[in-house]
């Protein structure tokens, strides 16, 4: 019989809802407890899943006997949750970004490495079949030009616009595009960024451009803006010898890959659920049934360091 897995989730907002929906559809998973700093939120979500509720994640982890835990909290809330999981030897899935800053994530990465803990980070694009196809295409024809976009509105959650709590748009959103660029083009050797500051300097800049040079020799630019009525363009475009490739995300479950060559343009839309795919891969790793975590903490740290370097060029 397949081993049943007991899981908990800390944070019960937007993205937790996506993970809990995926987890509740797996027939080997029991959602036993959830926690949220806003206690009534946790109570309501717990009722949906026949689970127990807690007002903080540490108490949840100290009380429940879990196989794994999901951390779906805002960027500023990282640190003590991961430390508690490490102390208890509890594998965790954590949503990107790893933290609002680099120092917290670097400190946690050392603890996780010392403990040899199984972790996964929510860079969900890595689980898309379309991204696998893009990787095959660029494998023998490396891109020379990279253009990335996160052109969107300002998310309505209260913490987002506060630079010190969210980390900024590049750390909080564009990090997905930077991660995809690292995956498809390789490591970045040079970063130069320019920002259009908000009127209130404590707030996330209105727009940014980031110039990148890759170790492969490719060059590129990534544009971000938060002043639109809604999502306009989120994606990565690559140009290599004889092809242009465009990967875009209209919503978490709605991606498109368009490849243009001398033979014409071929476009493919995918409604694959990458949140369910990353959750399944992590659970299988925790259960010792699989080895397909595509963004463990140490790998995600490289993307986070790049996003932080672009976000705060002076620091």
Ligand X SMILES: NC(=O)c1ccc[n+]([C@@H]2O[C@H](COP(=O)([O-])OP(=O)(O)OC[C@H]3O[C@@H](n4cnc5c(N)ncnc54)[C@H](O)[C@@H]3O)[C@@H](O)[C@H]2O)c1
Helix (H) or strand (E) holding 76: none
Nearest position to ligand X, beta carbon: 13
Choosing from 20, 32, 53, 74, the residue that interacts with ligand X (CB under 6 A) is 74
Task: Tell whether residue 168 is a contact of ligand X (CB under 6 A).
Answer: no
If you search the block for the tokens 């779906």, which residue do you land on?
Answer: 72
Number of H helices and E strands in the chain, helices first, is 11, 14
End-to-end Cα separation, the chain, in angstroms:
53
Choosing from 9, 73, 191, 204, the residue that interacts with ligand X (CB under 6 A) is 73
Of residues 137 and 279, the one with the C-beta less far from ligand X: 279
Task: Tell whether residue 122 is a contact of ligand X (CB under 6 A).
Answer: yes
Q: Which stretch binds ligand X (CB under 6 A): 68-76, 83-91, 182-190, 203-211?
A: 68-76
Distance CA 121, CA 294 (A): 8
Of residues 40 and 217, the one with the C-beta less far from ligand X: 40
8-37 residues in contact with ligand X (CB under 6 A) are 10-16, 35-37
Helix (H) or strand (E) holding 212: strand 207-214
In the complex, what is the shortest distance from the CB of residue 125 to ligand X, in angstroms, rounded to a whole number? 9
Output the six-digit token pair for 198: 């908000």
- Give the pairing type, strands 145-151 and 233-240: antiparallel
Picking from 32, 28, 35, the residue whose alpha carbon sits closest to that of residue 7 is: 32
Site string for ligand X, 123-152 (x = CB under 6 A): -x----------------------------
Distance CA 271, CA 229 (A): 24
Task: Tell whether residue 72 is a contact of ligand X (CB under 6 A).
Answer: yes
Distance CA 162, CA 45 (A): 27
Of residues 12 and 208, the one with the C-beta less far from ligand X: 12
Q: Which stretch binds ligand X (CB under 6 A): 89-97, 128-136, 219-227, 297-305?
A: 89-97
Binding site for ligand X (CB under 6 A): 10-16, 35-38, 41, 56-57, 72-75, 77, 95-97, 122, 124, 157, 172, 252
């Amino acid at each position: 019989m397949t081993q049943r897995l007991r899981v908990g989730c800390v944070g019960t907002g937007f993205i937790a809802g996506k993970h809990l929906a995926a987890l509740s559809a797996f027939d080997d998973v029991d959602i036993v407890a959830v926690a949220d700093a806003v206690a009534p939120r946790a109570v309501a979500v717990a009722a949906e899943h026949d689970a127990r509720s807690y007002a903080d994640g540490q108490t949840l982890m100290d009380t429940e006997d879990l196989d794994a835990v999901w951390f779906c909290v805002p960027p500023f809330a990282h640190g003590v949750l991961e430390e508690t999981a490490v102390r208890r030897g509890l594998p965790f899935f954590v949503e990107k970004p790893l933290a609002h800053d680099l120092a917290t994530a670097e400190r946690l990465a050392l603890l996780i490495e010392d403990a040899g803990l199984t972790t996964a980070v929510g860079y969900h694009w890595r689980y898309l079949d379309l991204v696998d196809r893009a990787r095959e295409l660029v494998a023998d024809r490396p891109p020379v030009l990279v253009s990335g976009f996160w052109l969107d509105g300002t998310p309505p959650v209260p913490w987002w616009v506060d630079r010190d709590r969210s980390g900024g748009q590049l750390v909080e959103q564009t990090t997905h595009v930077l991660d995809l660029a690292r995956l498809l083009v390789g490591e970045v050797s040079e970063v130069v960024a320019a920002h259009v500051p908000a009127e209130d300097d404590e707030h996330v800049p209105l727009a940014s451009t980031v110039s990148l040079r890759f170790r492969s020799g490719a060059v590129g630019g990534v544009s971000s803006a938060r002043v639109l009525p809604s999502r306009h363009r989120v994606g990565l475009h690559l140009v290599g010898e004889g092809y242009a490739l465009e990967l875009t995300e209209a919503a978490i479950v709605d991606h498109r890959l368009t490849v243009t060559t001398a033979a014409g343009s071929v476009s493919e839309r995918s409604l694959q659920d990458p949140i369910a795919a990353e959750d399944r891969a992590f659970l299988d790793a925790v259960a010792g049934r699989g080895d397909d975590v595509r963004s463990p903490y140490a790998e995600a740290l490289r993307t986070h360091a790049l996003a932080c370097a672009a976000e705060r060029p002076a620091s």
